[in-house]
Structure 1
Amino acid sequence: MLREATRAGANVLKEEVVSRAPVRRGKLRRNVVILSRRSRDGGMESGVHIRGVNPDTGNSDNTMKADNPRNAFYWRFVEMGTVNMPPHPFVRPAFDVRSEQAAQVAIARMNRAIDEVLRR
């Protein structure tokens, strides 16, 4: 029940990130995923992640080779830029635009789930 609600909110953000992600070969867009896990306090959390990042540390997942089609390690170079490349942010603007809507979707899904449980 809680997982469904958090994933519904994260899906709103994922759609926006995918729509804003630059497309060259499409690898970046294909590797935007929703990851759900239990938080340290026992709750549930879901978030938008880009494959190639270790979700526990936020650093590169160096267990994947760079040419692996599931490894979009370079997303942070696109998002934040480098010395020789200007930034083309797509994650932060997506969050800024859709965070309120994502929260509302998650709350609505949770309320529906609570109503279903109470109707039983």
Structure 2
Amino acid sequence: MIETSLDFSGLNDIAKDLELLSRAENNKVLRDSTRAGAEVLKEEVIARAPERTGKLKKNVVVLTQRSRRHGEITSGVHIRGRNMRTGNSDNTMKASDPRNAFYWRFVEMGTVNMPPHPFVRPAFDVRQEQATEVAIRRMNQAIDEALRK
């Protein structure tokens, strides 16, 4: 889905504070802050998602992953029903499974017979700045908590 990467290189104070923390504390701070920003986007996606059965809204989740590169953590808004490895629909799940909202891409992008009704991209466009602010605020708060210990 849409993932936001926040670049904190311009924020020298935060970078210096992060250097003072241990690797585990640093990872926790990054995980908490990126997740807080992604939660803002998740709420907006849920608010904009069409509600026929409610299955689509229930399957909007935030996933946090550690990158292969050292010290990089990403959080993103995902909709269940997708094979993470290939990006295609997860064929191991039955369509009737309540955790499988595979059809979200047809709603978002449309099909030959159905016009698109985007809800993910507009949510991202509207809340991107607010998500960044929340992530930075949460990062400062988490750094202060870690340094107080």
Question: Which bin holds the TM-score, normalised by the shorter protein?
Answer: over 0.9
1:34 partner SS = strand
1:101 partner SS = helix
Partner of 1:39: 67
| Amino acid aligned to 2:117 | H
Matched, 1:30 2:46: no
Per-residue deviation, 1:6: 0.9
Per-residue deviation, 1:67: 1.1
Question: Is the 8 Å Cα contact of residues 32 and 142 (structure 2) preserved in structure 1?
Answer: no
Q: Deviations over 1:86-112 (max 9, x none)?
A: 000000000000011111111110111
CA distance, structure 2, for counterparts of residue 111 and residue 55 of structure 1: 31
Which of 110-119 and 98-107 deviates more? 110-119
Q: % of aligned pairs identical?
A: 75
CA distance, structure 1, for counterparts of residue 140 and residue 46 of structure 2: 27
Per-residue deviation, 1:37: 0.9
Give me the TM-score of the superposition, normalised by structure 1: 0.94
Q: Deviations over 1:4-27 (max 9, x none)?
A: 111100000000000000000000
Give me the TM-score of the superposition, normalised by structure 2: 0.77
Detail structure 1 runs of 4+ shifted over 3 Å in the superposition. Answer: none
Structure 1 or 2, whichever has the larger Rg, is 2
Partner of 2:145: 116
Instruction: Determine which of 119, 132, 135 is the counterpart of 1:103.
Output: 132
Matched, 1:77 2:106: yes
* Structure 1 stretches lacking a partner, 5+ long: none
| Amino acid aligned to 1:13 | L
Per-residue deviation, 1:46: 0.7
| Amino acid aligned to 1:52 | G
Partner of 1:51: 80
Root-mean-square deviation (CA, aligned residues, Å) is 1.1
